[in-house]
Amino acid sequence: MCNMDTTLLMRYLGDTPNLRIIDYFLDNPSDYSKKEILEGTGMSKPTLYKIFPYLQTEQVIIPKRKYGNTTLYALNKKHIFVKQVMSMDSALSKAAMKKAEEIPVSNKERLTAE
């Protein structure tokens, strides 16, 4: 059984720290501080600080603006990997919606009652 908090993308590709950060930005398109990313993804501070430099070096996550002493980061939607993940996320969502439309009404009522 899958966790309802797990997105389709993470169900298919796995719950890795890198993907969790990318998925967070896809679901919440804006710019965020590292603290907000920590809170939004639910990962530990050591994990974020271990992988964040790599995501920055590869320009998957880019600094967007400064707010006082805090740097806010955004997903680089021009990066080839990010484009592919966005495409995959969209395709998975469309497939899930199509599948949901095919479930008979009596089954949908039973699923929502659980």
**Residue 16, SS3?**
coil
What are the phi and psi torsion angles at 25 (to 5°)?
Answer: -65, -35
Q: 3 lies in a domain?
A: no
Q: Report DSSP letters for 22-36, one per residue.
A: HHHHHHS-S-B-HHH
In the structure, what pLDDT confidence band is assigned to residue 27 with cuts at 50, 70 and 90? confident
CA distance 34 to 61: 11
User: pLDDT tens digits, residue range 4-24?
Assistant: 367 767 777 778 898 899 989
**Spatial CA neighbour of 86 closest among 96, 73, 75:** 75
- CATH number of the domain encompassing residue 19: 1.10.10.10
Residue 13 vs residue 50, higher pLDDT: 50
Query: Would the pTM count as exceeding 0.75?
Result: no
The total number of structural domains in the chain stands at: 1
Whole-number pLDDT of residue 97:
77
Whole-number pLDDT of residue 16:
87
Which residue segment(s) compose the domain that 41 sits in?
8-113
